Amino acid sequence: MKHLITCKELNATDIEAIFAHASEFKRMKGLTPVSQKQFLNQTVSLIFVESSTRTRMSFEIASLNLGARVVQLFPEISSLNKGETLEDTVLDLYAMGCRYFVIRHPQSGIFDALLNIKKPGLKYINAGDGDREHPSQALLDAFTLIEKFGTLKDLRICILGDVLRSRVAKSNAIVLSRLGAKISVSGPKPLLPSKSDLPEVEIFESPDDAVRDVDVVMGLRTQMERGGTTFKPDSSYLDTYGVSKMRLKLAKKDAWVMHPGPVQRNVDIDSEIIDGPNSLILKQIENGVFVRMAIMAHMGLEMV
Ligand code: CP
């Protein structure tokens, strides 16, 4: 695994190896002994051209736990702001010694151009490209569910909300279905994908039908920043489309609740559900550090 750009590139062996590494890192609470600090004297560059709390900070912590130095490029005070391209920015940082690039960008498919750069040891991790993919989020979600259920085989998972513009939903559809889960999705009609967008899932116009008897419900934020529709959540959104208390009663008794964050309390998900006993939301965030360490360790280093 040279890069992690799309979940389509992940086979079951990669996923199993990443989860085995993540479990081991979790057992050690991320405190790797010096002998396992595989990234000692390596420099990891975080380039987030879009806002982030969880992904950016957990990749930073993961990199530090593995012994790496971390440098962050802040787009608004970088020369990206003066018209320099992202490709030239990567080349600049490569020249300074960076080999690992964790990149978030609003443009879907931004890595297509970056992959034209051929440099020894250069590695990319997609930290979210537009509405296309967010592979590390899907891996940490699957890891969290395997911790809870042991296996994803025949687990029923419902994803509710702005599925059309969600890179999390797209990456999760690939990873969770590859591990045997059955996925239903629903949300406002303008924010529903077509079957060809998301062939791995069953699409429901009625959120209640999508949630009925599932083991897990995952809420999503409405991503107004992506445009493409005039739909805007209003005060009725939670009851009509979101993870409300009433809707959750239609799922299996004691169904677990997930959300990739950032959460919009009482819009996409009821605030009491977020803080309730069946919420996995903080567990997802906790596991994000170990899974991201595992992704980096699995990708390894090429000594150049
Ligand atoms: N889940 C997620 O990508 O959160 P951030 O945008 O805070 O990184």
- Is pLDDT of 279 > 90? yes
> Residue of the nearest CA to atom 5 in ligand 1?
52
> Residue of the nearest CA to atom 4 in ligand 1?
54
Q: Is 50 in the pocket of ligand 1 (CB under 6 A)?
A: no
Q: Is 219 in the pocket of ligand 1 (CB under 6 A)?
A: no
Domains recognised in the chain with CATH numbers: 7-133+285-299 (3.40.50.1370), 135-282 (3.40.50.1370)
What distance in angstroms lies between residue 127's CA and the mean position of ligand 1's atoms?
Answer: 9
The larger pLDDT score, comparing residue 101 to residue 12, is at 101
pLDDT in tens, 246-262: 999 999 999 999 999 99
How confident is the model at residue 41, as a pLDDT? 85
What distance in angstroms lies between residue 304's CA and the mean position of ligand 1's atoms?
Answer: 32
- Is pLDDT of 303 > 60? no
Distance CA(110)–CA(241), nearest Å, equals 31
- Give me the half-sphere count of Cα atoms (radius 13 Å) on the Cβ side of residue 84: 16
The mean per-residue pLDDT over the stretch 216-239 comes to 93
What distance in angstroms lies between residue 16's CA and the mean position of ligand 1's atoms?
Answer: 24
> Residue of the nearest CA to atom 6 in ligand 1?
52
Q: Is 52 in the pocket of ligand 1 (CB under 6 A)?
A: yes
pLDDT in tens, 141-195: 999 999 999 999 999 999 999 999 999 999 999 999 999 999 999 999 999 999 9
> Residue of the nearest CA to atom 1 in ligand 1?
260
pLDDT band of residue 302 (cuts 50, 70, 90) is low
Q: Is 285 in the pocket of ligand 1 (CB under 6 A)?
A: no
What distance in angstroms lies between residue 244's CA and the mean position of ligand 1's atoms?
Answer: 22
Name the residue of 46, 55, 264, 282 to mutate for ligand 1: max ligand atoms within 8 A of Cβ: 55
